[in-house]
Structure 1
Amino acid sequence: MKRRGLVKQLLLFCLVGFVVTSVYNSIVSQVNELNVEEVTAKSTTKRILNFIPSTRTSPKNKFKINCRKIIEKDKDEIDRATALMRVSPPSRLQNGDYINATQDCVHFRKSFRYDNYPVTNEEREFPIAYSIITYQDVDQTERLLRAIYRPQNLYCIHADASSPDSLHRALAGIADCFGNVFIVSKKEDIIYNHMSRLKADLNCMSDILSMPQKWKYFINLPHQQFPLKTNLELVKILKTYNGANDIEGIITHGRMMPSRFEFSHKYVNGSWKRIGKRTSKLPLNATIVKGSAYGVFSREFVQYTITDKRAKDVLKFMEDVKSPDEYYWATLNHNEVLKAPGRYSGNPEKKPWLAVYASWGGRDRCHGKYVRGVCIFGVGDLNELVSKKELFANKFYPDFQYLALDCLEEYIYNKTFSHLPFETFYYKQLPFIRKQ
């Protein structure tokens, strides 16, 4: 009887092994054979969710909303979540709560689950550096930090110099609980469209370069973004990048908002003044390129940005450009004459930009709402978001459709514990990848 039971167990074990192997091979072969645009968001999402354990929920999911059903676009669950959000305010911690909670760092890290992530050797050997720019809402800033936190990474937090003292104290308390999280050494009083926004990232870059850790890539984030990939997936993607930068580039004249750089601008008494036609030129006859304030930058590119004379000369040119953060990175990355490490020499508009996904009015669908032309994501957007190839999503509001962020947080957290294979075939075909 014992031998017969043992045989049954062995047969069951072999059967399970065969099924798991078959499913794994099926997923890998599908990714290799299909162009990513041909795979629908719905089918991709369902395939992924089948491999993710659903036993862990967001600590903020007090209504026990079924996030899996929402991500699968279950109309009944989306309607239930929407109805609940209309009558129940979001559960949020205030600045004072964080000031008090971080008095006991051991308890803070444990209760907020900072040390509850598996970390592979591959991740340990590929640290990532981040800047997080914020001016309000410690609660959302901390959630972003927690989602991307790993002990081998580095995190520079820049809070607006004019933000309330309680915000600075709360963020300082959080940073003090970690050896790899710190407050930027020089804070800027950030003004919208102003050089101060660009300097905030440059200040973090300078600080991070002075650290002994040998991080590989730098990613700059505002506090309203959230990751679409786990840390391990980010590592695999960035290793595929092989030193190339992921920076947006726009050269079509009408899309570049030319008045911002063809004229000199000055911020006077709370408003922008156009003070005349620009006469100065970029160094080495470089051409200005528009892009995003956010990107994925190789360590060598960051070093170049902070120390190289060519980069400093371009920065000088940007001083009276309106929204210089949307031109500086793009100009450095897409001008061969500037010799920036990890640059792209082709037509920048013919390569995808994957650092951040944002849904712009008139171009993409939005199930949330538009603010200044950008979608604030809602629960109805999650099905498409989780199947995107981009690394981060922008943006989320903590007081609007807040269960969208709760469910995305739960999804990324649970996915970290899954053993779902991650295929980098798509990323290896990107035109900006430096071939080995």
Structure 2
Amino acid sequence: MSATRYKRLTDIDLDADINTIPESRSIQSTLIGFILLFGFVACMIFLTSVQAHPARVSLQDNGKNSPILRTRSQEKPRKRNITKWMDNYFTADESQFLNCSEMIKNNKDVIELYVNNGRMKLDNERLFELPMDCPSIKNRIYGDMPSFRPLKRPIAFVRTIYKIYELQEALLSISYHPDNVFCFVMDSKSTDRLKESVRIMSSCFTNVVVLGKEYSLNSGGHGQDPAHFDCLKTILDRKWDHAIILQNFDLIIKTPYQLSDISESLNYTSIMGFDHGFSYRYNTKAKWTPAGMKLFKIETGVPNEILNRNLIVRKSLNEVIVSKVFVKSMFEKLNMDIIIKLFDDNDYYGVDEMLVQTLYENYLGLEGQMESNCTRNHNDILTRMTHWDFSGPNGFDKECHSKWKRHGICIMGVEYMNELIKSQQVIANKVMATFDFGTIACMREMIKRNTAGETPNTQWLTSFPQFREMQQKANGTYDRNKFDC
């Protein structure tokens, strides 16, 4: 797509470090602009001449196979093929080039046409006044969706949010099912409009919870663990089998029915990556034995080998899939406030990627926990799809399909739709309404059509050691001393 004009966006994110495109690119863009303007004027002169003197140009004869002379300006644009749901947030003119079916096929011409005519973006300066009565909110979230079928295993979605209500409404719409549970925690620094709107939305649903307490969330990961675990504790008595931990820019790319099937395959297994924690992200001088940190509520009956063994700090990503069996056991047996505070330390950066992993991968006798103390590293190939790119600063980046990145991660514009629809993973990060709302809209369209990629099967899940351990326990063949991580 060399002809695609990727413009610098100054409103991508209020807290992002946006860097300017080199001056040479600006000069090049100016020259291209003059050339396009000249071509447009020439084209208009030509068309005027044709209309004034039609006999001078032979457009076609009466033969069916005769050639037709058409200029680019005469070609009808490929109109959007999405439902009227988009009209809640954009004018028809703004969304006219969003052709999700062709973008999913990676039709570069269609993607180029959409990008060159301006991506669909939402920011605080460009929002409609949405009607906020419950019938209107419900209609936007699921009014055009197919009738709901019961879920075998409901899912809980635990999400920290801080930006743009319309984005949160759209993300809720993608995963909404009356059997599922949704818990939101808001950043204390969010706008009053966001806070008020999210609370109004929550009041319209019995299965949407918004915590009264707000947290100070930042890019260092601070506040994420306390917020997520407050949500988990709040919804613990509700009906769900697995919880998916999410942040503001995470997009669910599986249907509610696919997620229910995945939960059924996982049984009580949780899914996360296996890696060693970086020593510069936590206090290595702290007492890391369960006894030293007073981790257990009741130490009586806990084996000494567990109480006095140093925990190995582990990490993966903040986004994990945790079973309710494991979550319930943590709250019942552990002083969670102590270990949450230990990790959520303002002296360190990236602190939100170690808590769940450390508790899950160090055997503590918890239900639903992995018993084998695996020390090998394993990537999480189920939970989050991410296009990493650590070269260079935030902003324009030619290595990203969308040509834009934030904090070392390529932002997933519509250029990623073909990959998203093929992925076996559950979440995509990052999607940003201030960059390209089209990705979110197209994924909702796929969810609506129940065509959101492949559902991982049991054989594929055996790549996870915790899943293999569960299978062996079910078959009566598990031997902790012989288990191959």
TM-score bracket, shorter-length normalisation:
0.7 to 0.9
For residue 223 of structure 2, what is the amino acid of its counterpart?
S
Match of 2:104 among 71, 75, 99: 71
1:110 lines up with 2:142 in the alignment: no
The residue aligned with 1:272 is none
Give TM-score scaled by structure 2 length. 0.66
Q: Secondary structure of the residue that 1:97 maps to in structure 2?
A: coil
1:341 and 2:368 correspond:
yes
Whether 2:262 is the aligned partner of 1:229: answer: no
Q: What letter is aligned with 1:74? A: N
Q: Give the drift of 1:214.
A: 2.1
Greater gyration radius: 2
Query: Matched residue of 2:85: which SS?
Result: coil
- Paired residues of 1:70 and 1:77 also in contact (CA < 8 A): yes
The 1:107–1:71 alpha-carbon spacing in structure 2 relative to 1, beyond 3 Å, is same
1:407 corresponds to 2:409: no
Paired residue for 1:350?
378
Distance 1:414 1:58, change over 3 A: farther
Distance 1:206 1:262, change over 3 A: closer
Q: What whole-Å deviation, never above 9, does each CA across 1:149-203 have from its counterpart, x for those lacking one?
A: 1001111111112322221110011111111112113222224425422111011
Deviation at residue 80 of structure 1 after TM alignment = 0.6
Match status 1:148 vs 2:175: yes
Question: CA contact under 8 A between 2:106 and 2:418: conserved in structure 1?
Answer: yes
Inter-partner Cα distance in structure 2 for 1:161 and 1:152: 29
Distance 1:199 1:399, change over 3 A: same
Paired letter, 1:102: M
What is the CA-CA distance between 1:231 and the residue it aligns to? 0.7
Q: Is the 8 A contact 1:82 1:401 kept in 2?
A: no
Match of 1:286 in 2: 311
| 1:136 partnered with 2:163 | yes
Q: Distance in 2 between matches of 1:231 and 1:382?
A: 19
Change over 3 Å in CA distance of 1:145–1:348 after alignment to 2: farther
Q: Give me the TM-score of the superposition, normalised by structure 1.
A: 0.73
Q: CA deviation at 1:318?
A: 2.1
Residue by residue, what CA displacement relative to the aligned partner does 1:199-227 show, whole Å, maximum 9, x if unpaired?
11011011101x4x321111121131111
Could you give the per-residue CA deviations for residues 342-376 of structure 1, whole angstroms, max 9, x where no partner exists?
32633452353411111111699631222110111
Spell out the pairing of 1:226-265 with structure 2 (5 A cutoff). Answer: 226-251=251-276, 256-262=277-283
**Partners of 2:257 and 2:390 in 1: how far apart?**
34
Change (3 A) 1:361 1:282: farther
Deviations 1:219-244 (A, max 9, x none): 12113111111111111111101110
**Pairwise CA distance, 1:379:** 1.8
Does the aligned pair in 2 maintain the 1:281–1:317 contact within 8 Å?
A: no
Change (3 A) 1:80 1:311: same
**Given that residues 274 and 376 in structure 2 are in contact (C-alpha distance below 8 angstroms), is that contact kept between their aligned partners in structure 1?**
yes
Residues 372 and 166 of structure 1, relative CA distance in 2, 3 Å threshold: same
Report the Cα distance in structure 1 between the residues aligned to 2:127 and 2:227, rounded to whole angstroms. 22
Deviation for aligned residue 1:90: 5.0
Q: Is the counterpart of residue 384 in structure 1 residue 413 in structure 2? A: no
Deviations 1:311-342 (A, max 9, x none): 55533532437333211011011112453523
Map of 1:9 onto structure 2: none
CA contact (8 A) 1:224 1:396 kept: yes
CA separation of 1:96 and 1:382: change in aligned 2, threshold 3 A: closer
Deviations 1:107-156 (A, max 9, x none): 331244357333333x1x31111112111111111111111110011111
- C-alpha RMSD over aligned residues: 3.0
What residue identity is the alignment partner of 1:127?
P
Structure whose residues are more often helix by fraction: 1
Q: Which amino acid aligns with 1:77?
A: V
The match for 2:113 among 63, 80, 84 is 80
User: How many equivalent pairs are there?
Assistant: 355
Cα distance change, pair 116–343 in 1 and its aligned pair in 2 (3 A): same
Is 1:295 equivalent to 2:330 in the alignment? no
2:401 to 347, 361, 367: 367
Check the 8 A contact 1:58/1:409 in 2, yes or no.
no
Q: Is the 8 A contact 2:103 2:415 kept in 1?
A: yes
| Preserved contact between residue 305 and residue 312 of structure 1 (Cα < 8 Å) | no
CA contact (8 A) 2:386 2:430 kept: yes
Q: How does 1:206-221 map to 2 (within 5 A)?
A: 206-209=233-236, 211=237, 213-221=238-246
Deviations 1:292-312 (A, max 9, x none): 111101001211232322655
Residue of structure 2 aligned with 1:326, choices 339, 344, 353 = 353
Helix, strand or coil at the partner of 1:178? coil
Cα displacement (A) at 1:75: 1.5
Which residue in the other structure is 1:424 paired with? 457
The residue number in structure 2 matching 1:395 is: 430
Matches within 5 A, 1:40-59: 57=83, 59=85
1:422/1:397 CA distance change after superposition, 3 Å: closer
Shift in alpha-carbon separation, 1:196–1:361, aligned structure 2, 3 A: same
